[in-house]
Structure 1
Amino acid sequence: MIVFRYLSREVLLTFSAVSAVLLVIIMSGRFIKYLAQAAQGILDPGVLLMIMGYRIPGFLQLILPLGLFLGILLAYGRLYLESEMTVLTATGMSEQRLLSYTLAPALLIAIVCAWLSFFLTPQGVQSVAQILNEQDALTEFDTLVPGRFQSLRDGSRVTYSQELSSGRDELRNVFISEKRDAGHSQVNTKDEGITVLVAKTGRQQIQEDGSRYLILQDGYRYDGTPGEADYRVVHYDTYGVLLPKPSVEVKVGDREGLSTAELIGHADPKMQSELQWRLSIPILVLIVTLIAVPLSKVNPRQGRFLKLLPAILLYMTYLALLVAARSALDKGRIPAGLGLWPVHAVFLLIGLLLVYWQPVRLKLAQRRANKEAQHA
């Protein structure tokens, strides 16, 4: 029991450290992407932390299997390097017994991954989809950042405000540049070209029908076409610019946002592949544990990182084949009954061969030696 607790602690500590590092790396890259969208005015900076929080379960369900795989390789590799495993082997610790000890914490992590895959990740995807739909309904006034040029998603208009009041209800030193397109421009002109609006102040006004206007005070309007000299300049005291009317409509059409209960029994191949993918996550944890334990055995003279690169390549091959099988199932190239299971079966066989090949080989060598001794 003491050996079991010691080995489990070593594996879980290394697993936690590796998973934390991987989570920070992945979240940093994703956060930079969302931060860039916020800088462009596509997202409200206030929802960034909420989006990242809802995305954590989806990150973790892919990080935890890899973290466990690397944790076993590094933890047991250190024990082999420091000859602790040699001592345990001398006291009767076989590789099969080591595997049984390792499967206990692996089973716990598999249960956590199943909880993430079946419940938390779909809920997080739904919440992120709702936030993004609400962000799509925001006007450029709602996402405006003072001192920064921001464009609409289609690039038809660029807005700039030097200052923005604390209540986000008044702009100062406003600049708006908009492309005019045959009467479809929001500045109500039928000519093609560019309209530039400058004003000292601006504020948002909401009408009874829900229409929103940006009311500009004391400014100029410039109409013209780049490369031509026939610009028209108009001074105004008050000018209204129609803002897109927000319409919040939450759509979660992505299968990743559907609950697991909705996927069960669904005839659509895409839904079947999503269900099998969710089932594959906890299965992946157990199979990579079966593979990692024999691969963690290293010669102290060779170093603990000798088998690390081949092991990672084997893991990435496993994951890549799962993704390829999922894509084939999506497109109907393989039947749903077959699905992702052949990939799991192949790597389960590889794990069993790694675990039992050396003991079987030793027994065969011993029998051969006994026969040769008898003949001699």
Structure 2
Amino acid sequence: MLILDRYLTREIAKPLVIFCGGLLLLFANFTAIRYMSRVADGLMPFHSVLPLVMVRAAVALEILLPVALHLSVVVTLGRLYTDSEMTALFSSGVSPSRIIRIVFVGSLVIAGLVAYLSIYVRPWANENRYRLEREAAADVDLNEMQPGHFYENSSGTVLFFQRRDQRTGRMQQVFIQSRSEDLIRLVWAEEAHYPERVESGGARTLVCSEAVSYEISRNRAAVREATSDELVLEWEKAQVLSEEYRRKAAPTWQLAGSTSPKDIAEFQWRLSTPVAALLMGLLGFPLGHARARQGKYAKLFVSVVSYATFYNLNMMVKTWVEKGMVGTVPGIWWVHLLLGILVAGLLWRRTRNP
């Protein structure tokens, strides 16, 4: 029987490595394209792309491993059914419960790895991700922004300029729009430049020459116009860690003692990912059942739809918990409870009718 355990484990592990590697490569490629577009626009130095892609991939592994495991179990068992190997195993006295136990043990190992990634690697990677993004924003020479592009900072201020002086490097024919609770501010300047580089997290100022500014009041429907030979604007405030950043980068033990619904939702998410990995691995057993003429990839589409449905529902419920629409008890766990009931029912049916 140990030979059977090793055989099935090896057969499941092969597509697991392929699926996980392929999904990770696709994710890294998509992430790199997004960052490279920022490099092309002059918003990020090139040397920051690889470290950012790596930490983003580390966070994505907690999602990619369960789906890769689920697809691997479905494809492996589908091949065994279509090649009549499962029929031979059942005929020789191997029960479906034995196959389920092998899948369970393998899924438990992956769930343990996902638990480590979710509880420890996720906050570490998010902390480094935001640090790298702040450093990248500070390292980039803001005087290298390209003309003809709209740039928006974290405060919602929009900057556009038509060309750049080749001799001085200053932006020319500059348009700036900023908003506050009551005012919309529009600035048109003949030239603008950043006076100096700033430290990571520091404030940035933009010096505008021959500027005309308009302040439009939303409540009073009034417009105030002003002209200035030199106008200094605050383009980027000194960066302060946002609530989302603290939550995603916070240690798991810190979230465990919080009473905030957003912290609790993040805490439950970290604990639920290994449970999801285990359940999705077990769900692969009933979905992997295929008749001889169906082909080993017959249930692959159903598997993808099943995981996508579960993942999207899980994300939706997590948002509900964050907004207080769903109580922290049961929180996001009721989605996993429903999946557990579904898996238990399908496994019981498959053991009764192998």
- Normalising by the smaller structure, the TM-score range is 0.7 to 0.9
- Contact 1:148/1:161 (<8 A) preserved: no
- Contact 1:149/1:160 (<8 A) preserved: no
State the AA in 1 paired with 2:297. F
Aligned residues: 318
Match of 1:275 among 267, 271, 291: 267
Distance 1:55 1:206 in 2: 27
Instruction: Return closer, same or farther for 1:177/1:307 CA change in 2, 3 Å cut-off.
Output: same
Matches within 5 A, 1:217-228: none
Matches within 5 A, 1:86-101: 86-101=87-102
Partner of 2:215: none
User: Which structure would you say has the larger RCO, counting Cα contacts within 8 Å and 6 or more residues apart?
Assistant: 2
Partner of 1:30: 31
Partner of 1:155: 159
Distance 2:196 2:34 in 1: 32
1:179 correspondence with 2:158: no
Deviations 1:231-288 (A, max 9, x none): xxxxxxxxx9989798764625321111101100211111111111111110001111
Let me know the Cα RMSD of the aligned residues.
Answer: 3.6
Distance 1:282 1:96 in 2: 22
Q: Tell me, what secondary structure is at the counterpart of 2:336?
A: helix
Q: Tell me, what secondary structure is at the counterpart of 1:337?
A: coil
Matches within 5 A, 1:96-107: 96-107=97-108
Instruction: Return closer, same or farther for 1:161/1:303 CA change in 2, 3 Å cut-off.
Output: farther
Partner of 2:324: 332
In the TM superposition, structure 1's runs of 4+ consecutive aligned residues that sit over 6 Å from their partners are: 147-151, 202-207, 210-214, 221-224, 240-248
Tell me by how many angstroms 1:95 deviates.
Answer: 1.4
- Contact 2:111/2:275 (<8 A) preserved: yes
Distance 2:23 2:5 in 1: 27
Partner of 2:243: 253
Tell me by how many angstroms 1:46 deviates.
Answer: 1.3
Distance 2:125 2:71 in 1: 27
Distance 1:334 1:203 in 2: 47
- Contact 1:211/1:243 (<8 A) preserved: no
Distance 2:44 2:285 in 1: 45
State the AA in 2 paired with 1:268. S
- Contact 1:138/1:246 (<8 A) preserved: no
Matches within 5 A, 1:60-139: 60-138=61-139
Partner of 2:310: 318
Partner of 1:264: 256
Deviations 1:145-166 (A, max 9, x none): 7x9766653224466477xxxx
Tell me by how many angstroms 1:298 deviates.
Answer: 0.6
State the AA in 2 paired with 1:25. L
- Contact 1:126/1:252 (<8 A) preserved: no
Instruction: State which drifts further: 258-267 or 302-311.
Output: 302-311
Deviations 1:125-151 (A, max 9, x none): 111111222334456447x37x97666
State the AA in 1 paired with 2:241. K
Tell me by how many angstroms 1:119 deviates.
Answer: 0.9
Partner of 2:349: 357
1:47 correspondence with 2:42: no
- Contact 2:176/2:188 (<8 A) preserved: yes
Tell me by how many angstroms 1:52 deviates.
Answer: 0.8
Instruction: State which drifts further: 245-254 or 302-311.
Output: 245-254
Distance 1:126 1:212 in 2: 23
Match of 1:297 among 289, 296, 301: 289
Q: Which protein is bigger by CA-based radius of gyration?
A: 1
User: Percent identity at matched positions?
Assistant: 25
Tell me by how many angstroms 1:22 deviates.
Answer: 1.0
State the AA in 2 paired with 1:72. V
Q: Tell me, what secondary structure is at the counterpart of 2:69?
A: helix
Deviations 1:202-259 (A, max 9, x none): 998679xx99999xxxxxx9999xxxxxxxxxxxxxxx99897987646253211111
**TM-score, L = length of structure 2:** 0.78
**TM-score, L = length of structure 1:** 0.73
Structure 1 unaligned blocks of 5 or more: 163-171, 183-190, 215-220, 225-239, 363-376
Distance 1:251 1:196 in 2: 32
Partner of 1:186: none
Distance 2:338 2:191 in 1: 64
Distance 2:253 2:94 in 1: 43
Q: Tell me, what secondary structure is at the counterpart of 1:41?
A: coil
Partner of 1:341: 333
Distance 2:237 2:309 in 1: 45
Tell me by how many angstroms 1:98 deviates.
Answer: 0.3
Deviations 1:38-73 (A, max 9, x none): 111111211111111111121111100000000111
1:308 correspondence with 2:312: no
State the AA in 1 paired with 2:105. A
Matches within 5 A, 1:231-242: none
Instruction: Return closer, same or farther for 1:161/1:43 CA change in 2, 3 Å cut-off.
Output: farther
